[in-house]
Amino acid sequence: MNENTLEKIHTSALKFLTPLNLDEVYKIIVLEAIKLVDAEFGSLLLYQNKNFERVFTTLPVASKVNLRKKGSTYTAFKSREAFVKQDKYFGRFHPQIKNLGIKSNIFIPLSYKRQSVGVLIVNSFDQRQFQKRELEILKLFGSLASLAIRKTQLNEESRKAVEDRDTFISMAAHELRTPLTTISGYVQLLSQKLARQPTNEGRWSQELVWETSRLSQLINEIVAVNKIQANQFSYNWEECQLEEIINRAISDFHLIHPYHVPNFQNGLAVSQDKIVGDSAKLLQVMINLLDNAAKFSEAGSEISINLKAKKKFLILNVKDHGKGIPKKDLSKIFDGFYRDKNNMIEGMGLGLFLAKNIIEYHHGSIKVKSKLNFGTNIEIKLPRVKI
114-139, pLDDT tens digit by residue? 899 999 999 888 888 888 888 888 88
Q: Return the pLDDT at 108.
A: 94
Domain assignment present for residue 28? The answer is yes
Q: Say which amino acid occupies 315.
A: I
Q: Is residue 174 part of a domain?
A: no
Give the pLDDT confidence score for residue 45 in this predicted structure: 95
What is the per-residue pLDDT for 167? 77
Pairing of strands 261-266, 238-241: unpaired
With CA atoms as reference, report the closest residue to 347 among 359, 355, 338, 356.
Answer: 338
* Gyration radius (Cα) of the chain, Å: 32
Q: Among 139, 159, 179, where does a domain finish?
A: 159
End position of a domain, from candidates 123, 142, 159: 159
pLDDT per residue over 351-380, tens digit each? 788 889 899 999 999 999 988 888 999 999
CATH number (domain holding residue 241): 3.30.565.10
What strands, in cross-sheet order, belong to the sheet with 51-57? 51-57, 41-48, 115-124, 104-112, 83-86
Q: What is the pLDDT of residue 279?
A: 92
Which pLDDT value is given to residue 93?
A: 62
Q: Cα separation of 372 and 386, whole Å? A: 39
Residue 356 CB partners (closer than 8 Å, separation 6+): 334, 366
CA pair distance 57, 142, nearest whole angstrom: 16
Q: How far apart are CA 337 and CA 169, in angstroms?
A: 12
What is the per-residue pLDDT for 344? Answer: 39
Instruction: Give the separation between CA 272 and CA 311, rounded to whole angstroms.
Output: 12
How many domains does the chain contain in total?
2
**DSSP state for residue 381 in the 8-state scheme:** E
Residue numbers of the domain that contains 91: 5-159
What is the Cα–Cα distance from 106 to 50, expressed in whole angstroms?
Answer: 23
The single-letter code of the amino acid at 211 is E
Residues of the chain with pLDDT under 50: 344-348
Length of the chain in terms of residues written: 387
Question: Residue 23 maps to which CATH number?
Answer: 3.30.450.40
Residue that is last in its domain, among 137, 159, 181 = 159
Statement to judge: residues 155 and 242 lie in one domain: no
Residues 358 and 242 in one domain: yes
